[in-house]
Amino acid sequence: MKNLYGETVASLCEDLVEKGFKPFNAKQVFTWLYKKKVYDFAQYTDTSKALREHLSENYVIRHLPISERHVSKDGTKKYLLALPDGHLIETVLMEQDYGKTICVTSQVGCNLGCAFCASGLFEKVRDLTPAEMVLQIVAIEAREDVRVSHVVIMGTGEPFDNFDNVMRFIDIINSPYGMEIGARKITVSTAGLVPGILAFADLQKQVNLAVSLHAADDKTRTSLMPINRKYPIKRLMESLQTYIEKTNRRVTFEYLLIAGVNDSLHDADRLVGLLKDTLCYVNLIPFNEVAELDYKGSEEKQHARFYDRLVSQGIRATSRRELGADIDAACGQLRIKEECDNL
């Protein structure tokens, strides 16, 4: 049976109409599920007995249990959730001035093998379903009794390697009959899968696009992100220009500052040269150090110098504050600890 959390209004409507029910019944069902948070079909009292029986016979409402919860001194919360097949995934809730942001995982493990990322220490096992992504939000909202206002698909995995499921997930949480999270409050992040970027451009969604760049030259970027061998910077930038032309939307470039690797003023100048005349801004990110890896984050002074260099040369930039370092909030760290402890 299908988990109801994996359905869009359109897909549920199609199923119901095919079985002789009315289109508005799908909206009724979603109101019970998302607005009233009632999980027993028998209690959907404004629907017919026949519809309730159809739902019970064809759908389930199944949630994800939280195995672990860690709270940072800065208010960031990280959760380990258990999937039905026994695999573990991570989700992070961040407290921001503008609301509550949840970082959603899209795959169990990751095949990209980025040198600085704990997620890459475990190869991809499988893609997450739309329901499993929706349920990360459902679980955390219920646990914390909060309303999530922003969603970033930046957890473990490469979203564009799970393209169809991620797009369906976005449709579900954006729907006025679902979670009603505005498109411009949703961000999908890619390591640079060019076919995914072009496919995303064709959809012309109002969802934000972020690209993990981390270096402005192919040699450095390839050492950090092996995907750069297949999709080098020139090809990546061409695909992003196509995205900008089709959507007229700005691209966010994520740039992790790693001491002695990509944080010199020369690196900053190369970044300026790469991004000039591009509709974008740069998000400079402090590096959450991973015990299993050798990289270190840039010192605060160097971080500030890098930022000032970008801004002085006309590049719009923000400097993200470090969140959750004391609770291993970097992608994959909590899962690593749990699985190593169980060896």
Residues known to be catalytic:
90, 331
Instruction: Report the alpha-carbon distance of residue 104 to residue 122 in Å, rounded.
Output: 17
Torsion, CA 171, CA 177, CA 178, CA 179, rounded to 10: 110
Place of tokens 């976005």: 170
Number of other residues whose CB lies within 10 A of the CB of residue 220: 18
For residues 106 and 128, the answer to whether their CB atoms sit within 8 Å is yes
DSSP 198-229: HHHHHHT-SSEEEEE---SSHHHHHHH-THHH
> DSSP character for 45?
T
Number of H helices and E strands in the chain, helices first, is: 12, 14
